[in-house]
Structure 1
Amino acid sequence: MDIHIPRRTALAAAVACTAAALALPALGQAAFPKQKPITLVVPFSPGGGNDILARAVAPKLGQLLGQTIVIENKPGAGGNLGTELVARAEADGYTLVIASSQVTMNPFLGMKVPFRIERDFEPVGRMASVPLVLVSHPGEPYRTLQEFMAYSRAHPGKLSYSSPGNGTPQHLAGEVFAKLNKTEMLHVPYRGTGLSVTDLIAGQVQVSFATYASVAQHIQAGKVRALGIAGQKRTPLAPELPTFGDAGLKHYDASLWYSLLAPARTPPDVVARVNEAMVSALNDPAVAKQLAQQGFETQPSTPAELKVFLASELKRWERVINDNHIKVAP
């Protein structure tokens, strides 16, 4: 039996089908991030810079993306454990990692690094930086950076400094300082910033290199004494603190930066969507104010800009680590 479809009805159906076909790509793009919550991996223990940044940005980022952001702390192996989990995750945008300077240092420290940043990740964007500050137990005899430098030279091997772990930027800050200051210090690694600072307050170690964000409240409470900024640029949060450059170490810079990475082969449209939301979250006045109060300087970038920056940092730290003969236990 022949079925006659009126010409007007057939035309309308054809138009509808065409519109639906054209809409398919848009629907595919809109599917992210509606399927499930996004996991934001922090490859260090709570209390450190990565963690503070993640918890400050995640609520606004989730609001902008229209999806819940779940923060998971996965510490271990100098940040390699949590970072590797993301490298091996499905490349769909639902698993991200806040990566710090650490990822451009680890490949040259003699430790096992089960991934390559250039090969196994898609850059999403640079996020922020924070100065490292040298702090001491308030009972120590040195009260200024210059006094500490003189004391450490006069007592090689007698001072111990804590860090969040072997191969962390804080660890390297101490190693490079000791070599430039022509002295020796005992490095005491911990599993995370919280424990590192806690033992400094308890007097188990004499000094520590820490992010300003992680020790600001302890400085204000008098539990630790700030000696100087481990770099060349003063922080507006404590402008009275001298830099190591002020003290004569003109080429010393151990500032710490943070970025957002996704697994390699994450679709470009997903990367662009997350970057757009990340930049908007960092530029939000409330978020920017909160981060500034904790010592962060927001520095949002495009994925392409982060890719170039990562390549330059890999070259820089390879040179610094090799020139200073720094290695950590595998």
Structure 2
Amino acid sequence: MSTLPHDLARRRLATGLALGALGAALSPLGAPAAEPFPAKGRTIRIVLGLAAGGASDAQARFVATKLGEVLQTPVIVENRPGASFILATEEVIRAAPDGYTMMYAPSSVVAQNPQTLANVRYDPFKDLTPISLGARGPLVLTVHTSVPARSVRELVDYIRANPGKIGYASFGTGTSSHIYGEAFVRQAGLDAVHVPYKGGADAAKDFLAGRVQFYFDAAPNAIQNTATGKVRMLAVAAPQRSPLLPDVPTMGEQGVNGIDMASWLGFYGPAHMPAPVLDKLNAALAQVLAMPATRDFFRQGAYEAESSSPAALAALTRATYDQWGATIRKLGLTKQ
């Protein structure tokens, strides 16, 4: 038997070790082995298309803190306000589908914007991955106390007596607060002016100052604004009264129907997220949203923290999209 020269034997040994290491890093199909998710110390971003300081921002930040504890990695909230959540949504869509970028979005982003805004270039069913439901809660019709109305009927009479002089705020064009306001104005045959803002915090400044007179606001903001003594809650825009606002009647109870779809918020990522990453995020969010501390925090604003499977959120997205589509067509609203 021949003996290999010492240098050749050493080179073959080195080559064999390198190939062995490469083989260990490859899956049976020859693809690189997946990096554990999340990688230690790598930051997860929750993008929010609203300015800091509103109810959704507070919810997102609370969840981010708890999610970071569960996943043992930093989780931060990045505010990308403007264009009715379009800027934030497009940023998430462009991100790598690796689980490190997701958004916390109200239902309007996936169910209303694509049907009411001409500059929406995303498809909510093709360009996003549903991860989990986050919360449910009603919008509340509120008025500034300078308006002498203590019911929906009295507000209608007041607006009719002041045509073109009464303004209503919204989180932004095409958002839930805008569509609810537009539906209310059209159904009652009113002449009122829509004033869009970049989020609840910005809208609240002018609303509390009395520069706009009424506002379909998220329940947490409505509660905070009412506590100042400058705002009055007239009705919840939901099928039933909220158990957390039992003294506030629904719009339907006061003779205004069709504005009764409860709002919700959900977590979405870019399209084509890998199943193991999606499952890990979904399980972690379910753990966070079930925590008593999370439930208590959300209930302070008349919202219920609630998780779901990705499939359930996908079905809810489709159902809400279809419901709003019917309402938008009935009202004759066109894309703006």
What TM-score results when the alignment is normalised by the length of structure 2?
0.87
Select 1:61's aligned residue among 67, 76, 93: 67
Give how far 1:249 is off. 2.2
**CA–CA separation in structure 2 for the residues paired with 1:180 and 1:193:** 25
**CA–CA separation in structure 2 for the residues paired with 1:67 and 1:112:** 36
Q: Deviations over 1:174-195 (max 9, x none)?
A: 0011122232321111122112
Aligned partner letter, 1:196: A
Aligned partner letter, 1:57: V
**CA–CA separation in structure 2 for the residues paired with 1:56 and 1:231:** 25
**CA–CA separation in structure 1 for the residues paired with 2:25 and 2:148:** 75
**CA–CA separation in structure 1 for the residues paired with 2:286 and 2:233:** 32
Change in 2 beyond 3 A, CA 1:35/1:150: same
Map 1:7-86 → 2, pairs under 5 A: 28=34, 30-34=36-40, 36-86=42-92
2:245 and 2:302 in contact (8 A); partners too: no
1:134 and 1:229 in contact (8 A); partners too: yes
**CA–CA separation in structure 1 for the residues paired with 2:142 and 2:73:** 39
**Secondary structure of the equivalent of 1:118?**
coil
Aligned partner letter, 2:224: Q
Please tell me whether residue 147 in structure 1 is matched to residue 154 in structure 2: yes
Select 1:264's aligned residue among 250, 268, 271: 271
Change in 2 beyond 3 A, CA 1:23/1:90: closer
Give how far 1:39 is off. 0.8
Match of 1:165 in 2: 172
1:232 and 1:250 in contact (8 A); partners too: no
Aligned partner letter, 1:180: Q
Select 1:240's aligned residue among 237, 240, 247: 247
Change in 2 beyond 3 A, CA 1:78/1:154: same
Select 1:129's aligned residue among 113, 132, 136: 136
**CA–CA separation in structure 2 for the residues paired with 1:77 and 1:279:** 30
**Secondary structure of the equivalent of 1:246?**
helix
After superposition, the CA RMSD in angstroms is: 2.5
Select 1:106's aligned residue among 83, 107, 113: 113
Aligned partner letter, 2:184: F
Match of 2:12 in 1: none
Select 2:207's aligned residue among 200, 208, 224: 200
Match of 1:11 in 2: none
Match of 1:251 in 2: 258
**CA–CA separation in structure 2 for the residues paired with 1:131 and 1:83:** 23
What TM-score results when the alignment is normalised by the length of structure 1?
0.88
2:46 and 2:76 in contact (8 A); partners too: yes
**105-114 or 203-212, larger mean C-alpha shift:** 105-114
Give how far 1:48 is off. 3.0
Aligned partner letter, 1:144: S
**CA–CA separation in structure 1 for the residues paired with 2:318 and 2:171:** 25
Aligned residue-pair number: 317
Map 1:226-237 → 2, pairs under 5 A: 226-237=233-244
Give how far 1:327 is off. 3.4
**Secondary structure of the equivalent of 2:104?**
strand
**CA–CA separation in structure 2 for the residues paired with 1:159 and 1:58:** 39
Give how far 1:262 is off. 0.9
Give how far 1:285 is off. 0.5
Match of 1:289 in 2: 296
**58-67 or 138-147, larger mean C-alpha shift:** 138-147
Select 2:100's aligned residue among 75, 94, 109: 94
**CA–CA separation in structure 2 for the residues paired with 1:42 and 1:69:** 13
Match of 2:229 in 1: 222
Point out where structure 2 has 5 or more consecutive residues left out of the alignment.
Answer: 5-19
**CA–CA separation in structure 2 for the residues paired with 1:264 and 1:192:** 26
1:131 and 1:231 in contact (8 A); partners too: yes
Give how far 1:52 is off. 2.2
* Overall identity of the aligned pairs, in %: 35
